[in-house]
Structure 1
Amino acid sequence: MIEPLPPGRARLIGPYQLLGLLGAGGMGEVYLARPAGSADPLGGLVALKTVRAELDLDDGFRIRFRREIDAAGAVRSPHTAALVGGDAGGRLPWLATEYVPGPSLAEAVIRGGPMPEPVVREMGAGLAHALADMHAVRVLHRDLKPGNVLLGADGPKVIDFGIAQAFDATQLTRTGVVVGSPGYISPEHVNGSRALVPASDVFCLGAVLAFAATGRGPFDDSDMAAVIFRIAQGEAELSGVPPQLRAVIEECLHRDAGARPTPRQLAGMLLSEGRAVGEPFPWTDEIRGQLAEHAAGARAVVEAAAPSAAAPPVPSGAPHPGGPALAPTPVVPVAVPGERQGNKGLWIALAAVATAVCVVLGAVLLPGLFEGDGGGDGNAGGGARPTASASDAVRTQAGPAVIPGADAGHTGDFGAAATDVSAKPADWKAWKAEVENGPVKCVLAGASLACGGPRRITVLDAANGEQRWRTEPGRAGSGPASVAAVIGTTVYAFQDGALVAFGLDDGARKWREPLPEGARVTDSVQSGGVLYYATRAAATGAARILAHQLTGRQTRKWDKPWDGPADEAELSFADGRLVAVGDGVTVLKGADGARLAAIGAGDLTCRTPVLKGKELLCAGSDGLTVVDVTAPQNRRSVAAGVDIAYRPAVSRDGKVVVSSRTRVYAFGLADGRQYWATYDDVDGGLNVSGAPVLAGDSAIVLRERGIDAFAMDSTEEADSTGSSLLTEWPGGPAARHDPASISLVARGDAVFLSFDDGTVVSLHAP
């Protein structure tokens, strides 16, 4: 994760403000940085690599460094971290690449274990395409290993192919030293050949895929000499790899470079057909949790950083105090074996004496790509801009989406995106629409509002409320239709006894999977590309909880019986854990449905549950009970004395908003401190009519006749009041609506509300 900047470190390098330390080692450092003076504090984030000031950088080093900047700038691939800029001529050379907010493959597997075969295949195909794109412009990576693959929300990205030649054959190259990760190098490296070829990268990728599938490298051994011997002899250990995937990896690890598949051939061997356009990458729930942690860490560092204008510009070559520096590939000494060590020792001795096996951070430039050793500023023209480190909203192809189904923990936090006026649908204006004769629930996906009603799914234009399409009504007695998720350009819905996928733009049906005969869905929750839902069989009353992979290769992941009443099942998801609340609480592992923990029926009152990380918030007549779902015996109370009427909302910074039927309160979730409360006036208070939601720095609360907004950052212990938007609810002054049926979505300065009579309205936010 991201560490604070070392004491005394200059805060600017080139045009970038340093925010935090991403990594450090013997040769240089890598920082999280952003353009100095950027108006968008979360925009333009980069990983900035620089060398240690005390290194003796001769002209040859700078020539090689400039070539590597040019080489990295030549690569244009969605599967690599794009070069943004660089400078080889300053006193302190640097280069900046796209920042990818996610774990390395090494971290992800160490923390979460081996990946399922479908995920390994999807990831491997992306990495193969990355190699193909590099080789097309005559760039070799030369150090593809688990630590040089970052897992981004949209798939894997290859990093560190930018400074290999710069560091090669200088300070790091000496006989008897292996620089890098010998378990992920090719026989060409081991045998001392400097004529590396594209197939060398394919060999390394085969070893990486074996690691992803089993949690260990195919040449792992406690004896370094044994590792290099096994690589040279082709003795890969692949016993734990699934059979069909193993056959592909064996092709990659062929000792003969000419017998290995090309990267594009390998991509086809791994994945016969790609994902639909706009569908997210099918990472496991564990990896999605790690992605969220990295994004949150980056956001916290950025928001805590002082404004870049506060520090005067510092020349990019300015020296700085010591401290650790980066060489993400470790230096591992190898003893030269004696004569009596046999054939294995002979191989190691030959490799050590003939040439150092030098696998350095980065890529090697293939001959003939760029000519000339002259100077120049080394800036890479036209480099792709970095992606943002995090988002307050789920992303779809149409843009950000703020939808209740995406809030898998039911925290009710729509984030800063809900107050960004520019983010609301284009040409939006207040509107009212009649969808169906009965309760509707809607979710917002970009410019569309998808609504489930008593018999059908209806999609509206979010800007004006006009109907875009609707499904045919379901058969009588099949139950109401509901939108389970909107991912990319696909609406996933329960209708007419089946889980159905529709095109978001035109309503065309993509696939349909029937539910078991007589079963109906009682609750569902989406996390990433997986949908979890509870069902009840009409004939037997038997309850089940299922997980369905929506994206990639659509399939049912697991199906488990549940001993709680299905009619009362409320599902929440966070950090790879699915929590089912009924008379009791059951905690399941999202990946396979294994039971992790449980609280027996009658031991805990938990109405309208909210899951924030590992903490389950259970509302009751005397405040909140906060339960650690990893250790359910650990509980504490917050908001004691408040008779909580609706689902609480929890902000990213740990404040929880609760409401009775007349008052609204904000408390610190960790310490229980009360920040503010609304007035309990002589007229009976606010007449709160629904659950609060959070939009940016405000808590939005439904009243009997309108909407109120309250500032979340108030620190006064005394009562506070909010600003109001008064309006008549659908049906006129005498109309009454079931508070539980009213749902609210916030986006920009617009709110979208749906009611129990089939009416949907969109109004200006207060």
Structure 2
Amino acid sequence: MIEPLPPGRARLIGPYQLLGLLGAGGMGEVYLARPAGARDAFAGLVALKTVRPDLDLDDGFRIRFRREIDAAGAVRSPYTAALVGGDASGRLPWLATEYVPGPSLAEAVTRGGPMPEQVVRELGADLARALADMHAVRVLHRDLKPGNVLLGADGAKVIDFGIAQAFDATQLTRTGVVVGSPGYISPEHVNGSQSLVPASDVFCLGAVLAFAATGRGPFDDSDMAAVIFRIAQGEAELSGVPPQLRAVIEECLRSDAEARPSPRQLVDMLLPGDRAGVAATGPFRWTESIRGLLATHAAGARAVAEAEVPSAAAPPAPFHTPDRGGPAALAPTPVVPVAVPGDGRGNKGLWIGLTAAAVAVCVVLGAVLLPGLFSRDGGGNDNAGGTGGGAANPTASASDAARTKAGPAVIPGADAGHTGDFGAAAADVSTKPLGWKAWKAKIADGPVECVLADTSLVCGGPKRITVLDAANGRQRWQTPPGKAGTGPASVAAVIGTTVYAFEGRALVARGLADGAEKWREPLPDSTGVADSVQSGGVLYYATKATGTGGVRILAHELTGKHALKWDKPWDDPAAEVELALADGRLVAVGDGVTVFKSANGARLGGIGAGDITCRTPVLKGKELLCSGSNGLTVVDVTAPQNRRTIADGVDVAYRPAVSRDGKVLVSSRLRVYAFGLADGRQYWATYDGGEGLETAGGLAVAGDNAVVVDGYGMTALAVASVGEAEDVGTGLPSEWPDTPDGPLDPSSITLVARGDAVFLTFDDGTVISVYAP
């Protein structure tokens, strides 16, 4: 989606006024822009690609950039984003193309799942026509992948000729260096880009169609070197592709380039009969999910354009491309209204395409160099990282996870009722911190657990509270380290503009903005805090005496006079206590279960010690979900004798998650399952393929997906799957901490999801923030 312009960014590049940031990569940035001085808010919207201002550009780079302009300008096709103009000789080289308010194919499939076969066929025909038009003017794309296909209301457009090369151009890459994107490159790419031919683009198109039909690439593998090997050996995985479409894709993926169909032949194969030679007109028959994404992108462009309405009636600056010999042959883009998809006005002459900032991936002698692989923009920040919450205990309630007049939104590890973890906001890109880019940070002194409060990550660790900027990972403030023996610091809650934390043996209130201390309440001597949960401005926490092991449950008002509301003993013999809160009931879980009335601490009942196994408890309304080695025991805390078992036979290894539609997601150490909370019905499970092929780990719900964090990365599964779980995205971030002794323990990784970004914390104090899978 479109983000505000970064602070200090010039508002003009060439003849264009910048309106918002579309994307950024390791070397470049892409902006939504329009001709400077245009009288109409929507006149001539373009995607303007430029380089980062801090780069030292040599003549070789400018030559390559000029060739990119030439390649893009040579192609004239309704199925590609047309070049509007460019300048490779200025202080900041730039290239402007038509703008389409729509998602990339990668985003559409990740968010909406695989496409129906007929949609894939019509999409593929449009992409094949695009290749035919490119090849007709002797231009190869060389990096056709899901991220370089944009979906508009009237169909798809191919974008980003960043590594396109004319058939007879001088070789731009070193011997042995291949440019392309792993998983979507041809065997010729692997053998060296000097051997690329038009059929190489057809091979890439076949891989793209497999992704559109199944949600995964035909050569996907957790080991990038294995991806290259599978491509070279022709080992495509196409089991999920419909049979007739699979036959077409197999022709595209033939190892012998000469045996592949031409783009024109491919159109006939995808749309046999009279329809093959006739391009469709009017709105494209996208799925409902994609139409929703189109509307969202169009609305975002409209909002940005209206916010930057020109205030002067000055004529536009002259349009020229100095490196192409004076005035451009192309006139400025005509006025193009940002129409809402599906209103019947769309056609290929009116919808214009978004240029993404794709970063070339180099494969050197079989070794894949993938800096920032998990970042969609490929750009990572050396000062980057993320926050956690999926496996952590809740630190704020669902009622606090909303913006109020008093202060920021608070997104904890999970809401107090565990009724959907991060909700719809986790999939709404407009809710992530402004200016966010993937990042990594390191907080000294070991593991931390963090809360996302608007644009701040508030993290507690063994010695202090640290607050990071959620957009870039930079430290905003940090408390002094605690004295030896005073115990760790942990975030109890964030309400409005105040952070409440346990620091040593005191409950302390600090300003969110600067960490200034507002008040401090000492805890009883020789006690430590075992667990806490907060709701409605009241903090409920359990203290444990270091000598006797005695536990007390307390309720403390955080606002107003911040007075103690009640204090009750807890006589359960368990070594640990976990708290959960819902519907006015505070539940303490140890060897048994005790239910308190949250208003005054009165006991409402419970289950005796040893009568039930209840590890990683989750409270959903009045139902307590207790994990065990033989499934989940569901207990009605208002009538504890009423119990039932779901997920029978599953050894539940991680805390369950409950989706908004009432599915309970559980994970063993081998598989993830979804059951109905009300009826116990099994809806789906991940593939059970033996050691090394399973998907399992810590769970969280983000929008309509279940995010599974295992020891090597993340996987997103569609909650609405039926039968075998539908994998809608996998992330293996290059910034993942080193694992010399094997995979990380998933239970040690915490996760928070917000607006297509995830924040994760690790045992060594590493914090990373990356795009959601």
Q: Which range, TM-score by smaller chain? A: 0.3 to 0.5
TM-score (norm: length of structure 1): 0.48
